[in-house]
Amino acid sequence: MKILLVGSGGREHAMAWKITSSPMVDELLCVPGSDAILSLPKAKNSGVDQGDLVALADYASKQCVDLTVIGPEAPLVDGITDEFAKRGLKVFGPSKRAAMLEGSKIFCKELLLRNNIPTAGAEFYDDYEKAASALENWEPPVVVKADGLAAGKGVVVCDTRDKAREALKSMLVDKTFGAAGERVIIEECLVGEEASFIAITDGEVVLPLAGSQDHKRVDDGDKGPNTGGMGAYSPAPVLDKAMSSRVYEEIMLPTVRAMAALGTPFMGTLYAGLMITGEGPKVLEFNVRFGDPETQPLLFRLESDLASIMSAAVDGGLKKTKIKWNPQTAVCVVAASGGYPGHYDKGKEITGLGELEGLDDVYVFHAGTKLKDGRWYTNGGRVLGVTARGQGARTAVEKAYLAMQKIKFEGMHFRKDIGKKAIERP
């Protein structure tokens, strides 16, 4: 089997690592991949531009690619699945219309509210004056969200009306997010513990993956600005059996059914960002792809063949698919460049990676690195994710931090409390 993988981050390194381990897979063509991804056996550089969907489809057609797998949301929201379908090519991922679940927060919220799927109450606006005057009816804290894709920056949790007004002005008047901020949501601020519930669906059957939890803020204790994610672990004790079945019954199945009823069936990875509140699980957002960095611990625990699960989803055959997990906990701690999530420099040499090679229970997934003359250098904000597996959260966390001690680069920083919530949970 020949697979084409789009993306180049830590999530894609984990996907590539898992996919190339499959005996079903002969070749993994990467768009563009990374030096770490291209160091994997079976991985090859395609040389095609990630942003050019037509060139990508032509390339996949010429190469007789059996299945295309997408890491980030942008190609899905831009319609890669539809472009490939025109040539009879299979993509594991939703159509452009179904990808609206992530591409438009208003589309997502309307679908949730219409179908009584638990989420924060919300109102939509495209006019600053109207939005600002509506704010008077909201008791802070409130959350202001840009409708479209804003690289994770389009959500502002506001403690005061002034802050909310400022966020509304930046989106609706100053057009900070361009077209993505032409419409906005004002929504109720939910309180609880966040968790990631990721499932694979063929449009009908929903196959939940193990639960996981991300750490979005840059500093320990969930302080400081938001990042792409500073670490993750799986399983997440907050998503115990009872809570997971509630999420499946009250959120995942109804969402997949609602999408099918709209005539836009959702096939691919459906990732619910959840707040586990006193009243139960509520949807903060949907993503239409795997989470980064949740994918790193998830795939480090997955014993089943990912390529075969994704193929089954594309062919509408998930009914017979069962997933097998390593029962141990996996933890991924992200090491970031000095200054991240603000300005940072690249090109710092990374040492110590060699000491972690060949271990069975530790793997380093690269997010932003470059290989030059046999040496690794930093090449992004999030540089790498040290991922470890152990019996229970405490052991897995200890192993990950012990491994992290080997790695050094100038300016390197990482959170010291990844997995703490799992360890401390009674």
Q: Is 202 a binder of ligand GLY (CB under 6 A)?
A: no
User: CA separation (Å) from 233 to 217, 291, 400, 424?
Assistant: 15, 12, 11, 14
Point out the residue whose Cβ comes nearest to ligand GLY.
291
Q: Is 194 a binder of ligand GLY (CB under 6 A)?
A: no
Q: Is 250 a binder of ligand AMP (CB under 6 A)?
A: no
Smallest gap from residue 118 Cβ to ligand GLY (A): 20
190: partner contacted, choices ligand GLY, ligand AMP, none (Cβ within 5-8 A by kind): ligand AMP
CA 355 and chain centroid, separation: 29
Find, among 223, 228, 351, the residue nearest to 295 by Cα: 228
Smallest gap from residue 188 Cβ to ligand AMP (A): 6
Q: Which of 72-83 are b and which e, b meaning 16 or more Cβ less than 10 Å from the residue's Cβ?
A: bbbbbbbebbbb
Q: Is 12 a binder of ligand AMP (CB under 6 A)?
A: no
Task: Determine contact, residues 11/291, Cβ cutoff 8 Å.
Answer: yes
User: CA separation (Å) from 13 to 213, 295, 372, 408?
Assistant: 19, 10, 18, 20
Q: Is 292 a binder of ligand GLY (CB under 6 A)?
A: yes
Smallest gap from residue 214 Cβ to ligand GLY (A): 4
- The label of the residue with tokens 């694979």 reads 200
Among positions 186-205, residues that touch ligand AMP (CB under 6 A) are 187-190, 194
Is residue 295 classed as helix, strand or coil in its secondary structure? helix
Q: How many other C-beta atoms lie within 10 A of the C-beta of residue 373?
A: 4
Among positions 114-153, residues that touch ligand AMP (CB under 6 A) are 120, 143
Q: Is 227 a binder of ligand GLY (CB under 6 A)?
A: no
Smallest gap from residue 294 Cβ to ligand GLY (A): 5
Q: Is 273 a binder of ligand AMP (CB under 6 A)?
A: yes
Q: Is 103 a binder of ligand GLY (CB under 6 A)?
A: no
The residues of the shown chain that bind ligand AMP, judged by CB under 6 A, are 120, 143, 155, 157, 187-190, 194, 216, 273, 284-285
